[in-house]
Structure 1
Amino acid sequence: MTADLHENAAQLDKRTIKPPRWLFLGIATLAALISFYLTSVPYIYAEALVFMFLAWSLLGLIWIIRVAAALWINRRRSRTARPWLTTVRWLLVPLIFAGSILTIKADVPFQVRFRLSQSSLEHYAAKLAQSGRTSGCQWVGLYYVCGDYPYDGDIVSSGTEAVTGGAQIMVNDWPIMMSRGFFWLPDGRQPPDDAYYEDYKHLVGPWWGIQAWDGW
């Protein structure tokens, strides 16, 4: 009986002392990628802040518990053969967290997604400004954009439509309520007062970022 208890304790020690493995690191990386996705619009989704708080709080709590357990166990065990490698593996999770926060703070997710989509968005906006409206959904660069859609026997505008001096394009990022988008105003004018937005900011050239009324 005593031998079994010692054996179980030894096995527990071995499991607990190990730094995060690929599964945990993969989950942390996935959390960072989802954070990038939710912040790759002109105005960060409020849902992005909620997701990041919950995800990183949970991951951080698990990481802290594992670190504390490993430090406690290491008091009674010999040093590992390659302590530097173990330290690096323990630091990977906080490095992923810090790297994602700095990347978002520098607005990299939005800048990359927007720059890669800019030419497609401009072509789409020019056609929209000429036609006035559009229907259906499609990928425009790296943004999924929807036009008018049927609802209760009527045709409802999604906000993607021609406006005075250009076009307004609303982004449909699953599973977020549509509330972020762009103005394309090539004649240099300010966004119109009667358009579908709560706040706006100039991005570059004829492009303005939009936060719609239904955004948090």
Structure 2
Amino acid sequence: MKENQKIVIIDYGAGNIQSIKFAIKRLGFEAELSSDASEIRNADKVIFPGVGEAGSAMRMLKSTGLDEVIPTLKQPVLGICLGMQLMCNSSEEGKTKGLGIFDAEVKRFSNHVKVPQIGWNQISNLESALFEKVKEGEYVYLVHSYYVPECKDEIARTEYGVNYSTALHRDNFYGVQFHPEKSSITGEQILKNFLKLELAE
């Protein structure tokens, strides 16, 4: 893992930023918050968090021009929760057009399950170096009402009424529906794996 790497958490007013920053610090690294395009472009790793409603979050991204910056990034980028959903083509939440990085449409859970899904659930069908040293069936922490149906970019799956894609990967972009910063040792390992990623995968 590269030491002294520059880690930037995108600050656009829709993130659980402090808990992510603390989680990175526990791994021995400092992460800085920024909404500055040049700072983000020059980072070794970028984390794109998100908590809240998709439509208003996308409006905040557009107001700063970050909606045009994020899809052009070349370093490893990790979207978390709403951040991952905004990286998809669209979301039923607010009929929101997304960034189009992942070829998927975000759907709302049906009324057959308790919405939102809050708590611990298992991840399976793990692919990608993002899940190195993570076992099938490990538990992670989720809080969400919308999900990504199974798609070709899937690198992990969760079952909650339906099987859905709980992690995605395309090129240098990664996304996780769960909160690694709140997912105990498993989440810590996933963040550690992300910081180790190189563009060759």
TM-score by length of 1: 0.24
TM-score by length of 2: 0.25
Higher helix share: 1
The structure having more radius of gyration, on CA atoms, is 1
Does 1 or 2 have the higher relative contact order (CA < 8 Å, sep 6+)? 2
